[in-house]
Amino acid sequence: MEQHTIFVVFVFGIINSGKGYQYFQGLIPNGDQVPHPCKENYTWNGVGHRNPEGGGSRNQFGIDFLANGKKWNPTLCMKDSDKDGMSNGQELGDPSCVWRPGAQANRTSDLSHPGVCEPLDSEICLAQNQWEFCDSNEFKCPALDATKDVHTLTLRFNHTKVPAQKTNYYCQTFDIPTDQDYHIIASKPIINNTAVMHHSVIFGCLGGYGDDAGSMYNTASPCGMRPSDDRCTQMIIAWSLGFHGQCENERMGYRIGKTGYTKLVIQNHWNNPELRDDYYDSSGVLIYYTPNLRPYDGGMMIIGQTSLNIPPNMPLYTATSKMSKVCTNYITQDTGPLAIVGNYLHMHSLGKSIKLEQYTDGKMISSLGEVDVYHYDHPVRHIFETPVEIQSQDEVYLTCNYNSTGRNSTTIWGHGTSAEMCLAFIQYYPVSHHMLFILNQDSKDYCAVAVRDAGKLGVVEGCNLDDFIQTQLNSIIHKIENVCDVTGQSCYHNCYTYMKDLMKDNVCVRENNVIDMVESATSDYQNINAFWLGFKSCDKRIAANAATTMATTHWVKTTDDISMVRTVEGDTGETIIDDIADNNVATTVGQH
């Protein structure tokens, strides 16, 4: 089914890493007066960008401005960036190319856009303007249009002072209708102060009506990456500047009301790099909801890596994160298979490329979206009209690549635009209220740890994982540390015989997928990596031995014996050293 998935990619921009368009407007004549070529009385604020609100990819004028060192001078002024026969200076009211920042331009009326070829319908311009801009501010949602009985609800922050600090996360809680159940099926951003709005996330609060969920944010107040109320951590809407709304897959909606979310928390991220103290904001969202419930309740989850340590001047640094089998298995016990309908992948300005993939049995089986050339100010949203199904044994991997060339200090994880992130926001149904933030820290898999601590690993391939970890694993760790090479370099004879017997006797150490689950669930144990190196140090010898036995004795395979052979990745020709005491000679596998 995955092969037939229709893969729609929406590209949307968010404000440039730091300075917004208001800063650049002051660097060109009449920068805040440039008319939108297709909208009467409408100003094109981000003059150098394709998106009228700034951010994202540049139009030809923006490309020329950048190439000219972001300076207005006769070179840029005399250029005709949009090739419509009028120089940039003529279009912006500085025909003699004498304007300097701060000065009044020669002309302040009859201006036109230096990056859009006009008149739009001339033959030259039809060829020249190769991007959508006349309707780029319009939100299209056929599934919304096809639904009857849709109501709207406007939720906006109180007019709130934006603190004079670079990065601000603010939350406000809102009441929503609770007389019956509804589905939120679409939403549109209401952006009040474009100079500061960076992104926003909307969370649903579970709990009875009239309770105090989210009450710490009854007026707009500082908050962290998620609201500090456990009842209000389910994300439903994520917005970035340039993105015109969220249109939900026609098979799902976010359930609000009697049995759904009873309040919503809007979180706004304000960026104020110039530390101005005269900014206010009252941004929010327009919600479309309906009592005509769709087949499924949808949700949004985050997969991500929170341990980032990107050294300076590295052309390529890779961070990975995954939703492990333990996690998928746990979630799908409640929900059945998950249907992924969309995602957007998020890093900051060092981001180079990013991908999200579905794995089964250690093999990649489908791409859930890939951005080859990532631009922080130009994130990509992937939408699957035909959902991609995630089964209980599947895993989802996120790979983030960074380029830190030009940075002279280490970059770590953080909210600020100069820190980094590695996150996938995934929209799916049916919703699970158990796992929302599937975050890894290095190889620590917090999802698996939480599932283990709840005693919910269950029985896999005949192995009772909870029981195994609680009652048997410690003595195995102890034994391995004594008889195996915990650097993983060599296979000691005693380790070999111990592992062979253990595999024969214990169903929990035979199958790769069971071992993977134990590995994920114990990832927070101290020194566990050395144990696993020792545990696997004889894998090749066991595999080679089984192969030899089969080859020389024409030995008949039985299910039991086959299950003893765990697949070993790659063949490095590593040396197997038997214990001297056993008088065995060293053997090398893989190089005959």
Ligand X SMILES: *[C@@H]1O[C@H](CO)[C@@H](O)[C@H](O)[C@H]1NC(C)=O
Task: List interacting residues with ligand X (CB under 6 A).
Answer: 40-41, 95-96, 106, 158-159, 192, 219, 282, 315, 352, 403, 405-408
Strands 167-175 and 263-271: antiparallel
CB of 145 to ligand X, least distance (A): 24
- Shortest CA distance to 264 belongs to which of 242, 284, 244, 290? 284
Q: Residue length, the chain?
A: 592
To ligand X, the closest distance from the beta carbon of 155 in angstroms equals 7
355 HSE (CA, 13 A, CB side): 10
Residue closer to ligand X by CB (options 223, 544) is 223
Nearer to ligand X, 194 or 537 (CB): 194
Q: C-beta of 252: minimal distance to ligand X in Å?
A: 28
What are the structure tokens assigned to 269, written together? 């991220």
Closest CA to 234 of 258, 212, 213: 213
CB closer to ligand X, 405 vs 548 = 405
Choice between 218 and 333, CB closer to ligand X? 218
3-state helix, strand and coil shares in percent for the chain, rounded to the nearest 5 = 25, 30, 50
In terms of DSSP bridges, do strands 437-441 and 309-310 run parallel, antiparallel, or are they unpaired?
A: unpaired
CB of 106 to ligand X, least distance (A): 4
Q: How far is the CB of 153 from ligand X (least distance, A)?
A: 11
**How far is 80 from 78, CA to CA, in rounded Å?**
7
- Cα 45 to the chain's mean position, in Å? 28
Q: Residue 22 or 360: which CB sits closer to ligand X?
A: 22
Provide the minimum distance between the beta carbon of 280 and ligand X in the complex, in angstroms, as a whole number.
7
Query: Could you check whether the bond before residue 189 is cis, i.e. omega within 30 degrees of 0?
Result: no
DSSP 3: G
Closest approach, Cβ 214 to ligand X, in A, equals 13
Q: Using CA atoms, how far apart are residues 308 and 310, in angstroms rounded to an integer?
A: 6
Handedness of CA 53, 59, 61, 63 (dihedral sign): positive
Nearest one of 122, 256, 243 to 184, comparing CA atoms:
256
Cβ 338 to ligand X shortest distance, Å: 34
Which is nearer to ligand X, 94 or 445 (by Cβ)?
94
Alpha-carbon distances, residue 29 vs 3, 102, 255, 541 (angstroms): 51, 9, 50, 74
582 burial (CB, 10 Å; 0-12 / 13-18 / 19+) is: exposed
Q: Which is nearer to ligand X, 138 or 149 (CB)?
A: 138
- Work out the number of other CB atoms within 10 angstroms of the CB of residue 186: 23
- Residue (of 165, 213, 207, 170) closest to 192 by Cα position: 170
Nearer to ligand X, 68 or 106 (CB): 106
Shortest spacing between CB 98 and ligand X, in angstroms? 8
Pairing label, strands 587-588, 380-390: unpaired
Our CB check for ligand X shows the closer of 264 and 460 to be: 264
| Cβ pair 530, 536 in contact under 8 A | no
- How far apart are CB 31 and ligand X at their closest, in Å? 17
Which residue, 18 or 291, has its beta carbon nearer to ligand X?
18
164 residue type, one letter: A
Nearer to ligand X, 282 or 545 (CB): 282
Smallest gap from residue 285 Cβ to ligand X (A): 12
SS3 (DSSP) at 232: helix
Give CB contacts under 8 A, 24+ apart, made by 385-388: 385/5, 385/6, 385/8, 385/249, 386/1, 386/4, 386/5, 386/6, 387/5, 387/249, 387/251, 387/339, 387/340, 387/341, 387/428, 387/429, 388/1, 388/2, 388/5, 388/339, 388/340, 388/358
Cα dihedral 409/412/417/418 (nearest 10): 0
- Quick one: 320 or 405, whose CB is closer to ligand X? 405
Q: Judged by CB, which is closer to ligand X: 40, or 149?
A: 40
CA distance 352 to 134: 30
Determine the Cα–Cα distance for residues 310 and 409; give it in Å rounded to an integer: 9
Query: Both ends of the chain: CA-CA distance in Å?
Result: 42
Which of helix, strand or coil describes residue 249? coil
Which H/E stretch holds residue 128? helix 123-128
Cβ atoms of residues 343 and 411 within 8 Å: no
Query: In the complex with ligand X, which residue's Cβ is closer, 225 or 314?
Result: 314
